[in-house]
């Protein structure tokens, strides 16, 4: 870590626990060369405190779908800023943004805005419990920091008595689905799942089975589309898999980095808000909604996902070629919007060591690596080719080829 970064991090940690607002942005000591701070970004590139440049494959943990400082989005925000940020009553842009989303995700009948993915997921589970009059929830994947989900975290600060109502299962485990439904089906308000967990299993059959069990048991199916929404495709995981939930949570790519989320679904479930209350002051904040509206229009009118998929495939194919050239025990995987490399040595500790060395080399070479290499609309073939050239050099240095 450079002196400038080290000094700033030490100062930040005296005032800010972790030195950042986000767990995943905490500095990893095993990744040498990873900067703790980024001061600006444009397109698919970022610059740290020392003005070192990186091609970014983290995309701010997923929100950046079009690219940093995307002109059409930022111009929409500047235009809305002339009218104001937050008012004493609803703004007309709330309807405009809702209409823009539903044009891309036509199964949605009603929608409400929040600020974070965790908020949107929590709103979905609250509605399901209110609608069904049931208390139990099946969960699969990560759904945020709220009490109903964070039960098994160390020193969680959550009453242990809540554990009896939450049943967490691994992604893709159909047998686990059946065990939970067979044991608690009459008490299950909802099954909330990440429809794709960005690993090698792509669980269409798993989602179909969940849909069938929910229909048979009067349980609501909730898709946590916080990360899959608008990244897997224009219509998210629902469109990709052809399976429709009852409710869904959206965030991250919904506004290309501006802070807004949404919970949405069929009208008969959303109308539960007439008998319960979910409300926040900043849900109608207009700048983020302007960004949302603009992002949705670009996704609808331009070949955003065709480009992302083609660029992602180019990156994954390049990973596979490097692995074949070097003979290193590894493989490339993942769907086109977020490919990855996994090391396959029999010694798992060695796999972790190689992963850490690879990421360290790449950060030092100006490639901002990620466990899942997110692609944006601003990545170009030249960026991928530069990345692969530096990846090839990193492999040669690590494995003395």
Task: Report how far apart, in Å, the C-alpha atoms of 308 and of each of 221, 264, 320, 334 are.
Answer: 29, 25, 18, 13
Asked if 338 contacts 198 with a C-beta cutoff of 8 angstroms, the reply is yes
Asked if 241 contacts 211 with a C-beta cutoff of 8 angstroms, the reply is no
| Mean pLDDT in residue range 244-251 | 98
| Mean pLDDT in residue range 33-55 | 97
The distance between the two most distant Cα atoms of the chain, rounded to a whole number of Å, is 66
Asked if 114 contacts 263 with a C-beta cutoff of 8 angstroms, the reply is yes
Confidence band for 50, pLDDT divided at 50, 70 and 90: very high
| Mean pLDDT in residue range 234-257 | 97
pLDDT tens for 121-152 read 999 999 999 999 999 999 999 999 998 898 88
pLDDT tens for 260-274 read 999 999 999 999 999
pLDDT for position 134: 98
Radius of gyration of the chain (CA): 22
In angstroms, the CA 31 to CA 13 distance is 19
> CB within 8 A of 199, min separation 6: which ones?
171, 334
Task: Report how far apart, in Å, the C-alpha atoms of 96 and of each of 3, 16, 257, 270, 297 are.
Answer: 47, 37, 19, 19, 11
pLDDT for position 401: 60
pLDDT at 335 > cutoff 80: yes
Asked if 318 contacts 340 with a C-beta cutoff of 8 angstroms, the reply is no
| Mean pLDDT in residue range 280-284 | 96
In angstroms, the CA 107 to CA 223 distance is 13
Alpha carbon dihedral 112, 116, 117, 122, in 10-degree steps, equals: -70
Q: Note the helical H segments in 16-116.
A: 71-81, 92-104
Helix (H, G, I), strand (E, B) or coil at 29: coil
Average pLDDT, the chain: 96
pLDDT for position 281: 96
| Mean pLDDT in residue range 158-177 | 94
> CB within 8 A of 290, min separation 6: which ones?
76, 77, 79, 80, 93, 97
pLDDT at 201 > cutoff 80: no
- Terminal Cα distance for the chain, rounded: 27
In angstroms, the CA 109 to CA 124 distance is 14
pLDDT tens for 205-232 read 999 999 999 999 999 999 999 999 999 9
* Cα torsion 318, 320, 322, 325: sign: negative
pLDDT at 202 > cutoff 80: no
| pTM of the predicted structure, to 2 decimals | 0.95
For 351, which DSSP code? H
In angstroms, the CA 142 to CA 126 distance is 17
pLDDT for position 1: 81
Q: Kindly state the percentage of the chain with pLDDT values over 90.
A: 93
| Mean pLDDT in residue range 187-216 | 93
User: What is the distance, to the nearest Å, from the Cα of residue 369 to the centroid of all Cα atoms in its chain?
Assistant: 16
Asked if 332 contacts 341 with a C-beta cutoff of 8 angstroms, the reply is yes
pLDDT for position 199: 85
Domains within the chain, CATH numbers bracketed: 3-61+303-398 (3.90.1150.10), 71-301 (3.40.640.10)
């Amino acid at each position: 870590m450079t002196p400038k970064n080290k000094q700033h991090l030490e100062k930040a940690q005296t005032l800010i626990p972790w030195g950042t607002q986000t767990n995943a942005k905490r500095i990893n000591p095993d990744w040498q060369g990873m900067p703790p701070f980024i001061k600006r970004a444009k397109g698919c590139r970022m610059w740290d405190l020392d003005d070192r440049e990186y091609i970014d494959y983290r995309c701010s943990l997923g929100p950046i779908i079009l690219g940093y400082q995307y002109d059409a989005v930022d111009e929409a925000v500047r235009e809305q800023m002339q009218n104001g940020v937050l008012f004493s009553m609803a703004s007309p842009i709330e309807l405009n943004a809702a209409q823009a989303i539903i044009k891309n995700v036509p199964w949605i009948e009603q929608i409400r805005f929040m600020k974070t993915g965790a908020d949107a997921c929590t709103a979905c589970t609250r509605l399901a419990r209110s609608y069904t009059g049931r208390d139990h929830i099946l969960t699969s994947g990560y759904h945020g920091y709220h009490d109903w989900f964070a039960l098994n975290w160390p020193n969680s600060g959550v009453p242990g008595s809540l554990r009896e109502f939450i049943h967490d299962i691994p992604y893709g485990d159909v047998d686990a689905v059946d065990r939970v439904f067979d044991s608690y089906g009459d008490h299950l308000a909802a099954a909330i799942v990440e429809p794709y967990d960005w690993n090698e299993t792509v669980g269409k059959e798993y989602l179909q089975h969940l849909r069938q069990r929910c229909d048979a048991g009067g349980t609501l199916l909730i898709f946590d589309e916080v990360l899959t929404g608008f990244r897997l495709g224009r219509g998210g995981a629902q469109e990709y898999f052809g399976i429709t939930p009852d409710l869904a949570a959206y965030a991250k790519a919904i506004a290309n980095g501006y802070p807004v989320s949404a919970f949405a679904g069929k009208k008969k479930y959303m109308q539960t808000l007439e008998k319960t209350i979910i409300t926040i002051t900043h849900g109608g904040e207009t700048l983020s909604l302007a960004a949302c509206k603009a992002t949705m229009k670009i996704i609808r009118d331009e070949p955003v996902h065709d480009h992302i998929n083609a660029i992602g495939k180019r990156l994954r194919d390049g990973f596979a070629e490097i692995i074949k050239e070097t003979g290193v025990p590894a493989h490339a995987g993942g769907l086109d919007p977020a490919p990855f490399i996994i090391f396959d040595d029999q010694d798992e500790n060695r796999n972790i060591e190689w992963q850490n060395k690879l990421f360290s080399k790449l950060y030092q070479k100006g490639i901002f690596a990620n466990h899942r290499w997110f692609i944006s609309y601003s990545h170009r073939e030249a960026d991928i080719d530069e990345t692969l050239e530096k990846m090839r050099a990193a492999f040669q240095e690590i494995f003395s080829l």
